[in-house]
Structure 1
């Protein structure tokens, strides 16, 4: 497994952990820069809340529905929530990777929220 396995994949399954240790996997978009994998998500999402409590994560290559094929690259890592500047940088990386898909999702949501972007960037190191 290399960071580039995740960077090349369109989706990765981000597994976070509840306080009781139960794992929860969610398919997300991710982009890499340097030795860090970046994810961008809503600030009020459960994965953000779980990462605040426990930064341990598992990242696995998956499809849009979160299905993982046998032998898919997977790795344990440490996640940290990014500040406003870090989130902005992560958003730019993801916009560069997903181009029109990202804008198709982000632009209408921004209009609906009157310009507010209540999102949080997540940095994952392995």
Structure 2
């Protein structure tokens, strides 16, 4: 089931690279969860990466560490922003995968921004 994702399926952090209008790549380390041959990440709704995905859904992802130092294969894909219900499901998956820090970070985010303040991104490998 995770063959298309390779080591991304088990990576704690992935480098999500989106592209500016001029084509310049911008990479950001994010938490990720694999499900059904797709990768899901969670971020702040008004972040620049969300704005870039709205304009251009083409992305790349690569395993990395918390600082964004990438390693492993680069996977190209297409991103899709999730709706509120899908983002809620993603929060549950993140709480399970990151069982210690996940619930604390998500609770803090919900208190600070509300549930609408964050959004999930689904990445389908090419």
TM-score by length of 2: 0.90
* Mapped partners of 1:82, 1:89: distance in 2: 10
Give yes or no for contact 1:30–1:40 (8 Å, CA) kept in 2. Answer: yes
* Mapped partners of 2:93, 2:105: distance in 1: 15
The residue aligned with 1:121 is 120
The residue aligned with 2:91 is 91
Cα displacement (A) at 1:79? 0.3
Cα displacement (A) at 1:84? 0.8
Unaligned segments of structure 2, at least 5 residues = none
Unaligned segments of structure 1, at least 5 residues = none
Q: CA RMSD in A?
A: 1.4
4+ long deviations beyond 2 Å: 108-113
* Mapped partners of 1:88, 1:20: distance in 2: 33
1:106 paired with 2:102, answer no
TM-score by length of 1: 0.90
* Mapped partners of 1:85, 1:58: distance in 2: 25
Cα displacement (A) at 1:104? 2.0
The residue aligned with 1:50 is 52
Which of 19, 24, 39 is the equivalent residue of 1:37?
39
Give yes or no for contact 1:4–1:32 (8 Å, CA) kept in 2. Answer: no
